[in-house]
Structure 1
Amino acid sequence: MRLRTPCPATPRTWTVELRSHPGGLVLVCRQCPHGIRQVTAAAARSAVLAHLARHARADLLPPHLRICQCHERGCRWHPRHRGCAGPIRLLLAGECGGRVWRLADVCTACAAATAQAALVPDTVLAAAPQLSSPAARRRPRRPREPGERTRVREMLSYLGAALPASTSAAARLLALQCALRMNGQAQVRLPTGVLRSLRLADSPASWRELEHARWLRTASPAANAVVAELLDATLLSQAPARPDRLQAADWALRVGRPARAGAIGSLTQLASVYLAAHSAPETGHGLCEYDRMTHDCAIDHTDLPDVLDQLAGAGLFASWQVCPDSGDLQWTMRPRSAR
């Protein structure tokens, strides 16, 4: 009989549960020996994300040692599909109406099959290396992968899970810009020009909405800008390099303003960014799950066709349809020169 060589364990799954308590709620971590502490209902979501982020930072592994934890558990987290495939990513998932949260290493195929979940942007924020020679300092910097579309797509997916379902489209557009533009101390300074592009220069309600969700905290007013501190610790530990994130933020501003779409409203702007991020740059063809878009953009199922028709009238689409068999949303973007 052959003896099987034991493989080292790679536990890259962390689960946090929110339980009722006479004084409010308690946060229970299944990985911490004494991982029970009391939290308020308003701060519960931020406390959960911060706790899971600390575990991810403390248990770093090289990419070649990370495995799909979903597969290790017999794929009980999602319906059956063709099997594990694709790169290993961190997936944030909520269960039981937001009472149980899980952060785990999952392959791309299993992540796509998991409901109420979002991929966490997967490049750790690090300080830029110090270059020694003047010639090296003049060397142009190469953008790091992934590209702008992928950064925006992953951030929208993450915000769909990290923000409350009731968060408005205007607040989600604001959160997207803040997450992509923050610095290494989780601080962000949004110039007035950016807020005008979002049609939010005179709309403090969106800032208050994110403050009530305990997602950020605004600082003292600055000249020609709004300064805020992000309270989502997961963004700080899993954000890509800042110059590339700034390019992605500028890209989201540009594609979120097709002809006449800015006058239609924030919901249409958010939908145009989402669709552009899920489109192939060469052909303009796009495909996504209908339910995934309504979840990530917080759009009611019955309202999405009207939003798509508005974007088609604004010149964004050449065509769009919902596949009757799979329920997937398919579309073709018009070339920018034709809009």
Structure 2
Amino acid sequence: MLTYLSAALPQFTSPAGRLLALQCALRSDTRGHVTLADGLLRGMRLRGRRELWLELSQAGWLETATVREGPVTVRLLDAAVLDQAPGRGVRRRAAHWALHPAPLVLPPASPAALRLTALVLASLSSGTAANTEDMGTVSRMCGHSPQQTKELLDRLVSAHSLAIWRHDCDTDEVLWQFP
């Protein structure tokens, strides 16, 4: 879904907007309706962030809702999201995992850009000691430039969420290891 959203959303979509779109896509029903509980939005640090809903609406990705206290219900306009497989139960588990992407552990108050980068790395991890991926792929999935991605990887090391990371300029691959 992260790969799909990297293509479906405009490049300028904020990291918080991407995290919100991911939850909407994974939690939607077959008609594209999704209700996000107030507690979920509060836990994601996105409660009351009307600008995020407007950002996704202006991108033509969802129908704007009236953002107020309590749960938010929207309708997704992206037809490709409605045809997604596997089933809804699997997508709900993926939505929950996306909030706590093991093996990466971040403080709950981490900025959205850092949380999205951690989620992308966790989703690309193979379960081995060292993981590699093309820098362009990582940057595109995060919605950042390669330079921004490098800075965020440094911040993940500083937060002890990553043990190390390295960029091989010859192959343009990023290598990272978890603690």
TM-score for both structures, normalised by structure 2: 0.92
Deviations 1:194-227 (A, max 9, x none): 1122210121111110011110013456872110
Distance 1:313 1:158 in 2: 30
Distance 1:165 1:220 in 2: 25
- Normalized per residue, the structure richer in helix is 2
Aligned AA (1:258):
V
Which of 189, 196, 214 is equivalent to 2:42? 196
Asked whether the 8 Å contact 1:317–1:333 carries over to 2, the reply is: yes
Distance 1:175 1:200 in 2: 12
Asked whether the 8 Å contact 2:48–2:68 carries over to 1, the reply is: no
Distance 2:106 2:3 in 1: 25
Q: How is 1:61-100 mapped onto 2 (pairs within 5 angstroms)?
A: none
Distance 1:230 1:218 in 2: 9
1:162 aligned to 2:8?
yes
1:333 aligned to 2:169?
no
Asked whether the 8 Å contact 1:218–1:227 carries over to 2, the reply is: no
Instruction: List alignment gaps of at least 5 residues for structure 1.
Output: 1-154, 335-339
Aligned AA (2:118):
S
SS in 1 for 2:41: helix
Q: How is 1:19-30 mapped onto 2 (pairs within 5 angstroms)?
A: none
Which of 289, 296, 304 is equivalent to 2:134? 289
Distance 1:319 1:239 in 2: 35
Asked whether the 8 Å contact 2:106–2:115 carries over to 1, the reply is: no
Asked whether the 8 Å contact 1:169–1:270 carries over to 2, the reply is: yes
Which of 97, 106, 127 is equivalent to 1:259? 106
Asked whether the 8 Å contact 1:218–1:226 carries over to 2, the reply is: no
Distance 2:129 2:87 in 1: 27
Q: Which residue of 2 aligns with 1:312?
A: 157
TM-score for both structures, normalised by structure 1: 0.50
Give every structure 1 segment of 4 or more consecutive aligned residues whose post-TM-superposition deviation is greater than 4 Å: 220-223
Shift of residue 316, structure 1, vs aligned partner: 1.0
Higher CA-based Rg: 1
Distance 2:20 2:129 in 1: 26
